[in-house]
Amino acid sequence: MKQYLDLLQNILDNGVEKKSGRENMPNTIGISKGIIEMNMSDGFPLLTTKKMYLKGIIHELLWFLRGDTNIKYLVDNNVNIWSGDAYRWYLKKFEFQDNLRESSLKPESTMEDFLTAVKNQDLCPIHDYEYGDLGKVYGYQWRNQNGVDQVRDVIEGLRDNPYSRYHIIDAWNKADFREMALPPCHLLYQFIVRPLSDEEKFKWIKNNTTLKDNIKVLGTRKPNQDFFDPYNVPKFYLDLNMYQRSCDSFLGIPFNIASMSLLLMIIAKVSNMIPGVSTWIGGDTHIYVDHLDAVKKQLSREPLTLPELKITKELNNLEDILALTIDDFQLDLYTHHDAIKAKLFTGLKK
């Protein structure tokens, strides 16, 4: 992942310091765009210059795909990346709420108390609100944006009209901003197909241990698609471009590029395609000034060989995707440097 380290260095060399547009957030040093291209044939883009928490990445993506917007599933699985945002959203709703179940009730005094209430599914003092709810964030937009299930739409579209340029999952729905704990950062995903050549299709067969002994040599005769179809050979590579408007370069980007690449793998598998190139495109690409020491420590390390990630379950439809669990993913050959800790800023008052 040298591209990622080059991006960090570019920010240090050419970035400018700016105030944050959100309350209770530190200043940033940033640039106005960033690009990282990841060819999935080179390995799974999980950062090696620090240890990454892959289970957290998988759990969050499954949470999105199921359309869930309550952090209970994440908290139950020891994933706390959304806990601060959920608590901040709860405090904001409590502050402006006039229909409390009892007027004398006060909000939980600490986030730990709040998370205990989330885990226990306690009855919230605010009418029409559940502890841990984030409003109409990613999962809602992905699965029910203005009544459209965008994940199902992409899967069906790739099967029915793979060359279409409409294979998009879009979370940027301004009409729902007031009902979101946080507007989406990674906001648009576009899936694009590239046809395999006959040579590439033969290579796929050769690398597939269940088929290579059964295939006959064709000699100089040029095959047509009818030859490949009985072997269920993929016809396309599937590429993914993702645009992210706001990019926490130390904590967020490594998580985001792994998550989007995993989504590419899932959609490719259910579509019988080969994961191609996963391209991350960043807008306001920044480093929090509080993260500078951590960034410099990471830049002192050499990247290691990328690991391999496999989805061990057969995926034939959206329902199979929704049934995925953490046990359906296998990470191999992951070597990495030690973890580097840094604070995740969510806008909570100090």
> Phi and psi for 315 in degrees, rounded to 5?
-125, 115
Q: Is 347 left (phi over 0), alpha (psi -120 to 50) or beta?
A: left
Catalytic residue among 12, 91, 100, 185: 185
Active site residue 185: yes
Which value, to the nearest 10 degrees, does the dihedral of the CA atoms of residues 127, 132, 134, 140 take? -100
DSSP state of 301: S
CB atoms within 10 A of CB 195: 12
Give the whole-angstrom CA distance, residue 51 versus residue 60. Answer: 18
Give the whole-angstrom CA distance, residue 57 versus residue 80. Answer: 11
Give the whole-angstrom CA distance, residue 206 versus residue 173. Answer: 45
Give the whole-angstrom CA distance, residue 115 versus residue 99. Answer: 22
List the catalytic residues: 185
